[in-house]
Amino acid sequence: MSVPAPARSSALERHREDALFAFCSAALAAAGADAASAEAAARAMLHGSRFGVDSHGVRLLDHYVTVIEGGRVNGHPTLDFRAGAAAVATLDAGHGHGARAAYAAMDRAMENAALYGIGAVAIRNSSHFGAAGAYALAAAEKGFIGLAFCNSDSFVRLHGGAERFHGTNPIAMGVPVKGEAPWFLDMATSAVPYNRVLLYRSLGQSLPPEVASDGDGFDTTDPHKVEMLAPLGAAFGFKGAALAGVVEVFSAVLAGARLSFDIAPMGGPDFGTPRNVGAFVMAMKPGAFLPEEEFDAAMQRYRHTLRNSRRAPGDIVMAPGDREWRVAEERRRDGIPIDPATAEAFDRLAERFGLTRPKAV
């Protein structure tokens, strides 16, 4: 008589970042990614998990393995940079992993910014790159102002619309602050990212109101009934829809990539055909615009004054990035949590590829 396997606990497991990075890198390599692609994808996922963007963290590992094995994402891409002007380039990512392309593009943008004060790279023939903040922050940590945009397959309705039109089309910006953690912003132009819906399904939680819609465009808080996301802004969603259009121009039109409504769905069922997702990164050297000591003093004073501005009763004021830095410190101390669905995916991948599954702390 067989004994049924015990049910997995609904409690969140917690793991050390280095153990998660090693496991993700090994799983991606086993799926067919070259060393640079595996490292970049794992780095981007750990950025999301470190800063509390769990929808774009290690829960993406199972999907990334699927698309590499299926052929949608080229595990051994050739990155082809083509200079259009002194500080500008276009990158054909060879249908490789989006993180591989975006980190390489930001490196090129920073090289150009060091020479010319500004550098920008438009990316085509790419794929899902995770959290846009990973690339903006990579620039800020090296003393540059970093910007990163990316389009994606249609999943966000227009304001007043009842069909998918834009992708979640994120905007990210990182700014160095001397002697302190960078100021940084990472936001979707949808009310929430779709991976947040998947996370809520996994956790059995209801969505906040006015962030997602059913197939007819009506608001729903049931993550299982979501057919499209709402644009950022609720009653003022026309602003979020317009911001998504800004990202579309930079990431698709300027890059020569597909428009959101022409990109095949991230969730399949076709995992063999490349999607030609677009992205755009920019780096700026503050010292090219004004003396660096003036920039440093202004940024320090700006954020200090913001944090200490008058608060509404019972509320708090935070600068962009404050929540993320606080979460990063908590997770450095207590470990990075993973949801039950991700834990089960880790089990499957470890068994399938003969890997050592990371142990909870």
Angle of helix 322-334 versus helix 35-50 axis, rounded to 10: 100
The pLDDT, as a whole number, for residue 178 is: 97
Above 60 in pLDDT, residue 263? yes
The per-residue DSSP string of 158-215 comes to PTT--SEEE----EEEEEEETTEEEEEEEE-SBSS-HHHHHHHHHHT-PPPTTSEE-T
Residue among 131, 127, 122 at smallest CA distance from 74:
127
From first CA to last CA, the distance across the chain in angstroms is: 34
Interatomic CA distance for residues 278 and 206, integer angstroms: 32
pLDDT digits (tens, 9 = 90+) for 6-24: 344 557 899 999 999 999 9
pLDDT > 60? residue 147: yes
Q: Is the pLDDT of residue 148 over 90?
A: yes
Q: Are strands 88-92 and 80-85 parallel, antiparallel or unpaired?
A: antiparallel
Tens digits of residue pLDDT in 45-72: 999 999 999 989 999 999 999 999 999 9
Q: Which domains are seen in the chain, by residue range? A: 77-290 (3.30.1370.60)
Over residues 251-267, the mean pLDDT reads 97
Express each pLDDT in 264-301 by its tens digit: 999 999 999 999 999 999 999 999 999 999 999 999 99
- pLDDT band of residue 358 (cuts 50, 70, 90) is very high
Using a 10 angstrom Cβ sphere, with 0-12 exposed, 13-18 middle and 19 or more buried, the burial of residue 308 is exposed
pLDDT band at 2 (very low <50, low <70, confident <90, very high): very low
Write the CB contacts of 314 (distance below 8 Å, at least 6 apart in sequence): none
- Write out the E strands in 192-320: 212-213, 228-229, 277-284
pLDDT in tens, 66-116: 999 999 999 999 999 999 899 999 999 999 999 999 999 999 999 999 999
Confidence (pLDDT) at 10 = 56
Sign for the pseudo-dihedral over CA of 37, 42, 47, 49: positive
Phi, psi of 174 (to 5 degrees): -125, 135
Provide the pLDDT for residue 196. Answer: 82
pLDDT tens digits, residue range 309-349?
A: 999 999 999 999 999 999 999 999 999 999 998 999 999 99
Bridging pattern class, strands 180-187 and 212-213:
unpaired
pTM given for the model: 0.93
pLDDT computed for residue 324 by the predictor: 97
Residues 184 and 325: beta-carbon distance below 8 Å:
no
Task: Please report the pLDDT score of residue 3 as a whole number.
Answer: 35
pLDDT given at position 184: 96
Residue range 155-174, pLDDT digits in tens: 999 999 999 999 999 999 99
The distance of Cα 121 from the centroid of its chain, to the nearest Å, equals 18
- Residue 301, H or E segment: helix 292-307
Average pLDDT, the chain: 95
Peptide bond into 291 cis (omega under 30): no
- Higher pLDDT, residue 27 or 192: 27
pLDDT digits (tens, 9 = 90+) for 214-234: 999 999 999 999 999 999 998
In whole angstroms, what is the distance from residue 194 CA to residue 181 CA?
A: 28
d(CA 355, CA 23): 8
pLDDT tens-digit readout, 175-205: 999 999 999 999 999 998 887 888 888 889 9
* Beta-sheet strands, E only, within the chain: 13-15, 80-85, 88-92, 118-126, 145-150, 156-157, 164-166, 171-177, 180-187, 212-213, 228-229, 277-284, 336-338
Collect all residues with Cβ–Cβ distance below 8 Å to 140 and sequence separation of at least 6. 146, 174, 175, 176, 182, 183, 184
- pLDDT band of 4, cuts 50, 70, 90: very low
- What's the pLDDT score for residue 199? 80
